[in-house]
Structure 1
Amino acid sequence: MDFLHDTFAIEIVDYDKWHERSRTNNFFELVYVLSGTGKQSINYVLHDFEEHAIHLVSATKCYRYIIESPARFLIVRFTGSYFVPLTQEAVDYSSWFSRLNFILANHKPGELVPDPEDKVQVKRLLDAVLYEYERKDPGSAFIIQSTLVAVLAIVSRNIQKEILKHRDFTDTRFADVLNFISFNILDKNKITVRYLADKFHISETYFSEYFKRNASESFQDFVLKSRLKIAESRARYTDATLQVIAWELGFTDSSHLNRMMKKHFGRGMREMRKEAV
């Protein structure tokens, strides 16, 4: 039976053979393999899985599991409001929404956490989620939600490592600059030349040249493309209107967002949304 909360639901499922599941109105699912082996099929591309594998499944992806030995899954089903702060809780999760968008915009099918040490840490955290799921104490929902924030932080770190793995920078600080921008991309106050120059102790007048020398593109283009990638993921994986997506990402309106998307990626928002159906 599901453990239901306003922002997520948890279930344990056992399969000798995969069958389709109802997945309506969810943002994405985090799948933790408690036991079993087989293959994960995402858009008909196969990826091996085994015990303790961790996967992310977006709401509109065509997916299934090919079960080779009896498998048990812990599935966390998120809604789009997961990082909206709740009035009765002390932690403000809204600051983590950029990280959620970063994950959706950059994740790939298959194993989410290839780093062995991080995988051990995620296993501990998800074991704690499993414990609270089985306990069903009045405080369990808040503990689960807080623990999932830590899980997604580790997932983000692994995705960023993969993105930066084959890039060499003339300045070792630059990876930290990119990480900070990626995880704060929706915070207009932090994504400014003045703020970043001050935070990373770089001359404000030199920052734009410094960024372009390391990234091979301008700071403005990098920020715009990062927001466009988030817009694409929101179009594909949520039912938010294109106007709302545009406003939340700092575009004047959906037409402005659409023009930028076509200019940089050759396709408009409606085309991207249709591709995900």
Structure 2
Amino acid sequence: MDFLHDSFALEIASYAEWQERSRTNNFFELVYILEGKGLQSVNHIQLPFHENDIHLLPAAKCYKYLIEESTRFLFVRFTSSYFVPLSNDQVDYSSWFSRLNFILANHHHHPGELIQDLGDRTQVKKLLDAVLYEYEKKDICSAFIIRTTLVSILAILSRNAQKRVLDGKMISDSKFADLLSFVNFHITNKNRITVDYLSEHFGISATYFSEYFRRNSGESYKDYVLKSKLKIAESRVVYTTTSIKEIAWELGFTDSSHLNKMMKRHYGKGMLQLRKGR
């Protein structure tokens, strides 16, 4: 990696023919195609790629690029520590870790353009160009500017993931749609997803909250939170190299045995089975 930081790394690489890359201990990578074209292959599924495309590469996924014209890539590598606030930071990024989880859990893990909304794609391209500028400038403030810019990029990716989650769902209550978004984006923050906190935050009676949630979603709030966490856990164990113990801790399970028990109960497979079967 050409630009190393505690929580992210950047690399510009040019390939006339694809070469395997070392990608250990990362959460996922964003790939920005600066120039070139060819085919992106993920788990033996192939789709064309072109200049200005933006892709997502989970850590433990089988992928490669079949290059037709010499291609220049910008790789932005995230690690889970990206959202751990550093002692000298004035901004607390820790809550953004939920967004990273949400993106990974709701990505289809197929090749192709990451962002379907054309306006959002244009915005992310501008932000990646700003990252590229700071990458080349490499002055004393560049790392901080890149890190804050990546926060904005991930916010837009989260918004696109949320659109996919809600696509086709008939939610007539806009407050409930906002509530779901809030829960999804704060799923690892136990203090912000309690019934008391949500009731006060969204102006819903605490005694009515359970009925309100079930009426709008068709399931209990407790089941929705558990299933959301298990979906993230499944994605993390299949598409990253994070330990099962760490996944359990980050998602608020008592321990890895508790997480494994819940996964087997709801999906019929344990965490190790999921990891070995990827």
Aligned to 2:78: 78
Corresponding letter in the other structure for 2:152: A
What are the within-5 Å matches in structure 2 for residues 99-118 of structure 1?
Answer: 99-108=99-108, 109=110, 110-118=112-120
Aligned to 2:260: 258
Report if aligned partners of 2:58, 2:240 keep a CA contact under 8 Å in 1. no
- RMSD of aligned residue pairs (Cα, Å): 1.5
Aligned to 2:245: 243
**Cα offset, 1:122, TM superposition:** 0.5
SS, match of residue 205 in structure 1: coil
- In 2, distance between residues paired with 1:97 and 1:268? 24
Aligned to 2:46: 46
- In 2, distance between residues paired with 1:168 and 1:49? 34
**Cα offset, 1:166, TM superposition:** 0.9
Identify if the C-alpha distance between structure 1 residues 215 and 60 changes in structure 2 by more than 3 Å, giving closer, same or farther: same
**Is the aligned partner of 1:125 residue 2:127?**
yes
**Is the aligned partner of 1:62 residue 2:62?**
yes
- In 1, distance between residues paired with 2:54 and 2:227? 28
- In 1, distance between residues paired with 2:82 and 2:162? 22
Poorly superposed stretches of 4+, deviation over 4 Å: none
**Is the aligned partner of 1:154 residue 2:130?**
no
Aligned residues: 276
Structure 1's unaligned 5+ residue stretches are none
SS, match of residue 215 in structure 2: helix
Decide which moves more: 14-23 or 128-137: 14-23
**Is the aligned partner of 1:12 residue 2:5?**
no
Identify if the C-alpha distance between structure 1 residues 250 and 25 changes in structure 2 by more than 3 Å, giving closer, same or farther: closer
Identify if the C-alpha distance between structure 1 residues 243 and 23 changes in structure 2 by more than 3 Å, giving closer, same or farther: closer
SS, match of residue 23 in structure 1: coil
Per-residue deviation, residues 201-251 of structure 1 (Å, max 9, x unmatched): 222222212211221211111100111122222323444432332222221
TM-score (norm 1): 0.95
- In 2, distance between residues paired with 1:48 and 1:207? 47
SS, match of residue 69 in structure 2: strand
SS, match of residue 189 in structure 1: helix
- In 1, distance between residues paired with 2:175 and 2:134? 39
Aligned to 2:192: 190
Aligned to 2:2: 2
Report if aligned partners of 1:31, 1:54 keep a CA contact under 8 Å in 2. yes
Report if aligned partners of 1:112, 1:159 keep a CA contact under 8 Å in 2. no
**Cα offset, 1:191, TM superposition:** 0.6
- In 1, distance between residues paired with 2:270 and 2:248? 13
TM-score (norm 2): 0.94
- In 1, distance between residues paired with 2:241 and 2:49? 30
Aligned to 1:210: 212
Corresponding letter in the other structure for 1:221: D
Corresponding letter in the other structure for 1:190: R
Structure 2's unaligned 5+ residue stretches are none
- In 2, distance between residues paired with 1:77 and 1:248? 20
Identity of counterpart residues, as a percentage? 64
Report if aligned partners of 1:104, 1:233 keep a CA contact under 8 Å in 2. yes
Aligned to 1:21: 21
Per-residue deviation, residues 112-139 of structure 1 (Å, max 9, x unmatched): 2111111111111000000000011121
